[in-house]
């Protein structure tokens, strides 16, 4: 179902008049949120032993950062609802807005290092993070250090397969993350785990902005 950015804004402002349409839209969103926070009975979303949502084996953290952003936005939506704050009604019980935000925080904490591997999946953050990122700019030496031209095949043969750490640290890049058992291989060839992407980092920025405003 396509919903424009204006429609999203009207929904959050309580200016929508087509109740049946929006009731269905809201129901779909809330069903998804209940699955994320493990309050949907038998249809809960899977989690790793360490508590990370497990939604897809291919760059799983892109889905987790987006899910965390949705949880954060909906927490604000419920907290500022017309008529006063309201809770989310899930099959397994009532959920307060603060619980949605708390779960989103738990996912961000996991990404930033509170996990069984004690690894930050955001490159450059903390004392331990991926050093063999599946990223051409990170894995090939800077022209400032070595101006020798690097051909396409050279980038693969000379640098991609190099076992040394990345010569360039792409601060802020969030990689694909661990597997369903919290295992992570810091290896450029493991694209699903070591590849960073803008669409993984972008939603996380919104969640971090919200958390930064809290005491």
Span 192-206, pLDDT tens digits: 999 999 999 999 999
pLDDT of residue 7 exceeding 60:
no
Per-residue confidence band for 181, with pLDDT thresholds at 50, 70 and 90:
very high
Tokens linked to 78: 């419920």
Q: Which helix (H) or strand (E) holds 88?
A: strand 88-90
Q: With pLDDT > 70 as the criterion, what percentage of the chain qualifies?
A: 90
| Average model confidence (pLDDT) across the chain | 88
The pTM is what?
Answer: 0.87
First to last CA, the chain: 37
Q: Answer whether 45's CB lies under 8 Å from 32's CB.
A: no
Q: Answer whether 119's CB lies under 8 Å from 83's CB.
A: no
pLDDT of residue 148 exceeding 60:
yes
Rg (CA), the chain: 20
Comparison of pLDDT for 27 and 49, the residue scoring more: 49
The least confident of 24-28, 137-141, 199-203 is 24-28
CA distance 70 to 163: 38
Phi, psi of 88 (to 5 degrees): -95, 125
Quick one: CA torsion of 32, 192, 197, 215, rounded to 10 degrees?
Answer: 50
135 labelled catalytic = no
The per-residue pLDDT for 51 is 97
Q: Answer whether 176's CB lies under 8 Å from 170's CB.
A: no
Comparison of pLDDT for 79 and 157, the residue scoring more: 79
Q: Answer whether 32's CB lies under 8 Å from 171's CB.
A: no
Closest-CA residue to 159 (of 173, 139, 145, 135): 139
């Amino acid at each position: 179902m396509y919903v424009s950015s204006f429609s999203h804004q009207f929904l959050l402002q309580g200016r929508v008049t087509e109740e049946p349409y929006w009731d269905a839209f809201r129901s779909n969103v809330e069903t998804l949120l209940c699955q994320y926070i493990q309050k949907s009975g038998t249809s809960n979303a899977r989690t790793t032993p360490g508590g990370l949502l497990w939604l897809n084996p291919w760059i799983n953290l892109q889905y987790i950062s987006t899910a965390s952003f949705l949880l954060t936005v909906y927490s604000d939506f419920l907290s500022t609802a017309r008529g006063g704050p309201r809770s989310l009604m899930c099959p397994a019980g009532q959920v307060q807005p603060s619980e949605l935000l708390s779960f989103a925080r738990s996912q961000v904490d996991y990404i930033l290092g509170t996990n069984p591997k004690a690894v930050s999946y955001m490159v450059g953050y903390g004392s331990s993070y991926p050093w063999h990122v599946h990223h051409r700019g990170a894995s090939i030496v800077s022209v400032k250090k070595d101006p020798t031209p690097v051909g396409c095949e050279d980038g693969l043969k000379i640098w991609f397969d190099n076992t040394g750490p990345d010569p360039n640290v792409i601060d802020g890049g969030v990689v694909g993350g661990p597997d369903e058992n919290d295992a992570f291989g810091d290896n450029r060839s493991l694209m699903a785990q070591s590849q960073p992407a803008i669409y993984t980092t972008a939603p996380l920025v919104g969640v971090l902005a919200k958390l930064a405003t809290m005491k």
